[in-house]
């Protein structure tokens, strides 16, 4: 055991540091480059548009949740917000908590005529300035459940809103966005990167990812920027347990006897328990984590291509999406119940034989 005086210990540290710098120049050069690039990226990422007055932003799905909060926040920051709501009540509620300069319009993204009316309204409001921002936030989750519980109508009900409606809204607003050299912010999901749970939701969000990527590459020539928001689980109307459980009960009740037997009588109850546990454990009530990303995409001089919103997205779902398929499959199997009726059916057939 070697004993050092304070001065000798300091000299020893300096010697080792010099040795590391001389012996491992590549390592030190790499670390320096990484730190330098991180600092440059941070500075670049924090550069913001200074004056937002006179910049029009159109947001879909503002009855509640992310769209409602974003409309209020952007309005307070000085943007000219045009909020699209599905219902009169949603429009009235939003107007009640903002000043009259915030405009609202009724919009059903599955109705082409409704979209045309919204485009006309926005064009009249924006005039020669064009549209600075389009936030495609409107969406729905249900019906969602095991694939063989669903029919084509169940898929259409989700895809028509989350994907087809989003595409049609975007295409019809593109002339105004090109005029304003604006931004498009499309709300996808972690389930667009890692599909779990049957139904149209993961399909639609995966489609939003692909559509946004191709759109970004096409629109870069016209000065239009495209960003994708990938939220984890948050407490909104889309993730309402009451709505999800009611729809699951509808799907279960209409199953034919053969499918119900294959899953087993207890499967439905176990499935509901998993839904309740996951929603209560994973769902964050702080939806500002999502609207912060939307706001950055609209106000940053250099908006990011993708924004992961929520710690579950950043630390679990998105990293898991890069893992080998077998790893993701095993992890998701641990989260969901297994059908037990099919085992009984197989055992019964073996006995009969």
Compute, in degrees rounded to 10, the torsion defined by CA atoms 55, 61, 62, 63: 160
> Cis before residue 143, ω within 30 degrees of 0?
yes
Do 66 and 291 form a contact (C-beta atoms < 8 A)? yes
Out of 201, 263, 271, 307, the active site residue is 201
Count Cα neighbours of 78 within 13 Å in the Cβ-side half-sphere: 8
Cα 184 from Cα 171, distance rounded (Å): 11
* Residue bearing tokens 């709505």: 243
Do 130 and 177 form a contact (C-beta atoms < 8 A)? yes
Cα-to-chain-centroid distance, residue 331: 21
Q: For residue 183, what are the contacts with CB-CB under 8 A and spacing of at least 6?
A: 132, 133, 134, 177, 224, 225, 226, 227, 297, 298, 303
Establish whether 201 is a catalytic residue.
Answer: yes
Cα 350 from Cα 353, distance rounded (Å): 5
DSSP 8-state secondary structure symbol assigned to residue 221: G
Sign of the four-CA dihedral 19, 22, 23, 28: positive
Q: Which two tokens stand for residue 197?
A: 């749970």
Active-site residue numbers?
A: 201
């Amino acid at each position: 055991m070697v004993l050092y005086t304070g001065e000798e210990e300091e000299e020893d540290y300096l010697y080792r540091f010099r040795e590391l710098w001389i012996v491992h120049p590549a390592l030190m050069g790499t670390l320096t480059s990484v730190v330098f690039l991180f600092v440059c990226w941070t500075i670049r990422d924090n550069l913001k548009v200074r004056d937002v007055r006179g910049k029009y932003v159109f947001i879909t799905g503002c009855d509640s949740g992310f769209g409602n909060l974003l409309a209020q926040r952007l309005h307070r920051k000085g943007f000219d917000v045009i909020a699209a709501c599905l219902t009169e009540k949603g429009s009235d509620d939003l107007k009640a908590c903002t000043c009259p300069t915030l405009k609202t319009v009724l919009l059903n993204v599955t109705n082409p005529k409704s979209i045309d009316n919204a485009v006309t309204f926005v064009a009249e409001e924006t005039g020669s300035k064009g549209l600075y921002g389009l936030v495609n936030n409107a969406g729905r989750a249900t019906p969602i459940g095991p694939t063989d519980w669903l029919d084509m109508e169940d898929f259409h009900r989700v895809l028509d809103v989350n994907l087809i409606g989003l595409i049609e809204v975007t295409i019809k607003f593109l002339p105004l966005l090109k005029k304003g050299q604006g931004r498009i912010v499309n709300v996808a999901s972690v389930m667009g990167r890692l599909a779990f749970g049957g139904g149209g939701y993961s399909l639609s969000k995966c489609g939003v990812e692909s559509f946004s990527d191709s759109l970004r590459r096409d629109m870069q020539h016209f000065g239009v920027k495209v960003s994708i928001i990938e939220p984890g689980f948050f407490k909104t109307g889309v993730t309402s347990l009451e709505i999800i459980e009611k729809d699951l009960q509808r799907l279960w009740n209409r199953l034919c006897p053969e499918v119900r037997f294959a899953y087993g009588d207890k499967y439905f109850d176990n499935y509901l328990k998993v839904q309740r546990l996951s929603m209560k454990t994973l769902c964050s009530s702080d939806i500002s984590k999502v609207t912060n990303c939307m706001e950055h995409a609209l106000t940053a001089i250099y908006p990011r291509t993708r924004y992961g919103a929520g710690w579950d997205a950043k630390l679990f779902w998105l990293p898991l999406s890069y893992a080998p398929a077998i790893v993701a499959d095993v992890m998701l199997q641990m989260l969901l119940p297994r059908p037990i009726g099919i085992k009984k059916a197989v055992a019964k057939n073996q006995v009969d034989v």
